[in-house]
């Protein structure tokens, strides 16, 4: 593995898993009464609603007690909820994770952009106001962080990609840096007092047959709105990570080590591959931002601290991944969130 560049200055736990098998289901109209997002591990969570977006994605909502999780995914996906035990002052809530497995075909390489989906559009479907989504997650929408393509440009890009596939040409890097895929979720816990959104964006930056290189961006943002005088709920941990299936190799990742944070600052994380670089900026508050559970095929970013008042907290990370020939493009996003009352240790 290649060591990435260092970071640059510029209660309760929740972890999110989603699995998608192939791409056929994404193009197939749902059967009446069909379950479009399967629950693999419920641990008390039950589905409370599903709907299909105009682009063919599925928004699924799941609830248990005072926790509600919504996610946007392809038809045929699955979600798992992993509970954490309660502790004094820290109610036990689940961690939730998302996993996707897709074939390495020319049609699959452009399926996301051909559908008309966008990162900002996905967040709006989850309930995030568009202006807020553009402000907080806009740089995740494209490879270089520039303004996302308009819907008219996306149609043009999709038509060009379709012509290229029909001619039997090898698909190259995403035109305009548009995503290969995204995974996004929203969460509402503590009776609505803790809310947030998080996303992974995947970019196919090089393709030679089934030898692929991908770059990823991750960001999660959440806060407490609890302004009660006695023992208000406050965030203590927030993280997002991406894990890859067997055979995929993590080439570069950031954050690589834990960086202490003394006051709220803008941090930049960045990763490099032989084919492209990516970076993400975000506001990070005390006490630290560091790597989350790094292995040869997994990395992410995690914030630890004590939320000041109702400030937004954030965590961010980037990756460069090599997916060799014969290996499936299989990836999983996970979100963890912890909170407790203000007086917890």
Closest by CA position to 75, among listed 127, 26, 123: 26
Q: Which two tokens stand for residue 87?
A: 């502790």
Give residue-wise pLDDT tens across range 275-308.
999 999 999 999 999 999 999 999 999 999 989 8
Give residue-wise pLDDT tens across range 123-146.
999 999 999 999 999 999 999 987
DSSP run (H or E) holding 134: helix 130-137
Give residue-wise pLDDT tens across range 333-342.
988 888 887 5
Burial of 25 (0-12, 13-18, 19+ CB in 10 A): middle
Domain ranges in the chain? 8-341
- Entry pTM: 0.85
Between CA 150 and CA 116 the distance in angstroms is 10
């Amino acid at each position: 593995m290649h060591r990435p560049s260092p970071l640059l200055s510029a209660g309760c736990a929740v972890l999110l898993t989603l699995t998608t098998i192939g791409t056929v289901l994404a193009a197939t109209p749902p059967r009446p009464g069909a379950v479009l997002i399967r629950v693999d591990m419920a641990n008390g969570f039950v589905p409370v609603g599903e709907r299909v977006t105009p682009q063919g994605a599925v928004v699924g909502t799941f609830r248990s007690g005072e926790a509600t999780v919504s996610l946007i995914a392809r038809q045929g996906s699955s979600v798992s909820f992993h509970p954490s035990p309660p502790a004094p002052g820290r109610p036990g809530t689940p961690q939730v994770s998302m996993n996707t497995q897709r074939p390495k075909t020319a049609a699959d390489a452009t399926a996301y952009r051909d559908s008309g989906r966008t990162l900002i559009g996905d967040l709006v479907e989850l309930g995030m106001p568009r202006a807020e989504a553009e402000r907080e997650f806009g740089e995740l929408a494209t490879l270089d962080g520039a303004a996302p393509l308009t819907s008219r440009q996306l149609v043009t890009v999709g038509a060009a990609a379709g012509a290229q596939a029909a001619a039997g040409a090898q698909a190259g890097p995403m035109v305009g840096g548009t995503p290969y895929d995204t995974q996004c979720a929203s969460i509402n816990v503590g009776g609505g007092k803790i809310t947030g959104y998080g996303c992974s964006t995947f970019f196919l930056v090089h393709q030679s047959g089934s030898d692929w290189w991908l770059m990823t961006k991750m960001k999660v943002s959440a806060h407490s709105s609890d302004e009660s005088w006695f023992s208000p709920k406050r965030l203590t941990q927030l993280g997002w990570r991406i894990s890859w299936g067997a055979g995929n190799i993590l080439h570069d990742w950031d954050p690589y080590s834990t960086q202490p944070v003394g006051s709220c600052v803008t941090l930049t994380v960045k990763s490099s591959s032989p084919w492209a670089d990516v970076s993400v900026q975000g506001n990070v508050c005390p006490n630290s931002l560091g790597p989350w559970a790094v292995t040869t095929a997994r990395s992410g970013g995690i914030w630890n601290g004590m939320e000041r008042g109702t400030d937004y907290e954030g965590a961010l990370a980037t990756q460069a991944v090599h997916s060799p020939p014969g290996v499936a493009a299989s990836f999983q996003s996970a979100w963890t969130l912890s909170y407790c009352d203000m007086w917890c240790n």
